Structure 1
Amino acid sequence: MTIPLWCLLVAIILPYPWAMTAMGERKKQFGTADNKNPRKQTAQLEGKGARAYAAHQNALEALPPFGIAVLVAHVTHADPTLSTILAVAWIVARVLHGVFYIADIDKARSGMFVLGNLAVVGQFVISAMAAGVPPHH
């Protein structure tokens, strides 16, 4: 399995540390984590817990574009070195995105969001280049 495909596995797992952080904050804020109606309780989170849950949701939202980009690069036989660099850059950006989200460092979080999206676009660009499609098409 290639490094970009391993990164895809990491990306699938990545939302869950943020969810576990949010669950810990639910226990702190409410005395328990309500498993019968967790969404209602989660909606009432404030501060770190709310940010951790938002990081979880954002990680889930970022997964499909990254997964598609990695798979397109794989099937088009895009440059493996560039695909690896872009995939690892995405993972680093997304890990830092979650850390910055929970720590309430908004500008750095936004920067990591942009960097991750550029890595996804980069995967599509190298895929187009591998498929012989000029960028202006």
Structure 2
Amino acid sequence: MTVAEWCVFASLMLYLLTIVPIKWLGYRRYDNSKPRDPAFYGDPLRTRALGAHQNGIEAFPFFAVAVLLAEFKAGPQRLIDELSVLFLIVRVAYVLTYLGDRPRLRSILWNTGFVINIAIFFLPLIRRYLPI
């Protein structure tokens, strides 16, 4: 497996690990028979963790498709790997800013991640123009 493919897996784990600790920490209030109970997410930190988790679910498909398409279409693997690692770093920072209630920085990081995804997606198209 390539580094980029491991980053796809890590991106999946990141959005899962964003919400699991919140549920564990609130185990006395969290009812697994009602996992989407709005009352549990009334706490601001829990609300932000749920938002970060949901955004991770939303961001994952584009990242996974971009990586797999770029590899399938023979984009420059080293650049795909590097951009995938960068995307993962940006996503970790995004989650931390979401949990830390830093909306402006969070938006900047979201946009940065989106641009990285677009770059990965179009790597096969522009590979002949790259000095690699």
State the TM-score, normalizing by the size of structure 2: 0.88
Aligned residue in 1 for 2:35: 38
The CA deviation at 1:129 is: 2.3
CA deviations on 1:62-114 (whole Å, 9 max, x unpaired) are: 00000000000110110112111210111001111111100101111111101
Identity of paired residues, percent?
A: 26
Distance in 1 separating the partners of 2:87 and 2:69: 15
Query: 1:32 deviation in Å?
Result: 2.1
Check if 1:75 corresponds to 2:50.
no
Question: Does the 8 Å CA contact 1:26/1:45 hold for their aligned counterparts?
Answer: no
**AA paired with 2:8?**
L
In 2 relative to 1, CA 121–33 (structure 1 residues): closer, same or farther, beyond 3 Å?
same
User: How big is the shift at 1:22?
Assistant: 2.9
Amino acid at match of 1:124: F
Cα RMSD for the two superposed structures: 1.9
Correspondence list, 1:10-89, <5 A = 10-24=10-24, 26-27=26-27, 31-41=28-38, 44-89=41-86
Match of 2:8 in 1: 8
Higher relative contact order (CA 8 A, sep 6+): 2
Q: Which runs of 5+ in 2 are unaligned?
A: none
8 Å Cα contact 2:30-2:40 kept in structure 1: no
Consecutive aligned runs of 4 or more in structure 1 exceeding 6 Å deviation: none
When normalised by structure 1's length, the TM-score is 0.85
Structure 1: gaps of 5 or more residues: none
1:35-60 CA distance string (max 9 Å, x none): 11121146642211100011011001
Residue 24 of structure 1: how far off its partner (Å): 3.9
Aligned residues: 129
